């Protein structure tokens, strides 16, 4: 007999901050040139910025990009701690 436990773990979703994205768009150099300068492939940068590739808290690649853009490391990340992760789907009641 197998027992399965259901744990709800608070996950911290890390993504690029709005300040970082705006600074990247407004910079005098194109994003692909900045990415090459910090040793990152332009497609990897795009995936990180748009959330297609997971970003770690205090990701060194994003900190290096922020440094090129003149941002402090704390200004590079937006953290969302409000998203609980559970292995059970939550059901919501629909009122008629």
CA atoms within a 13 Å half-sphere pointing along the CA-CB vector of 88: 8
- The better pLDDT of the pair 70, 87 is held by 70
Residue 23 has pLDDT above 90, yes or no: yes
Predicted confidence band of residue 80 (pLDDT cuts 50, 70, 90):
low
Q: Across residues 74-83, what is the average pLDDT?
A: 75
> How many percent of the chain have pLDDT more than 70?
70
Q: Which pLDDT score is estimated for 45? A: 95
Residues 6+ apart with CB under 8 A from 19: 71, 75, 76
What's residue 3's pLDDT?
46
Has residue 34 got a pLDDT over 80? yes
Q: 19 pLDDT exceeds 50?
A: yes
Higher per-residue pLDDT: 90 or 12:
12
Please state the domain extents for the chain.
Answer: 14-82
Written out in words, the top-level CATH class of the domain with range 14-82 is mainly alpha
């Amino acid at each position: 007999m197998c027992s399965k436990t259901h744990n709800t773990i608070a996950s911290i979703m890390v993504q690029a901050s709005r300040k970082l994205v705006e600074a990247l768009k407004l910079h005098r150099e194109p994003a692909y040139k900045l990415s090459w300068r910090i040793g990152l492939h332009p497609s990897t940068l795009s995936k990180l910025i748009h959330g297609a590739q997971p970003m770690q808290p205090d990701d060194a690649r994003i900190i290096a990009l922020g440094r090129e853009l003149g941002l402090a490391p704390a200004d590079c990340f937006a953290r969302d701690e409000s998203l609980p992760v559970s292995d059970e789907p939550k059901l919501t009641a629909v009122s008629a």
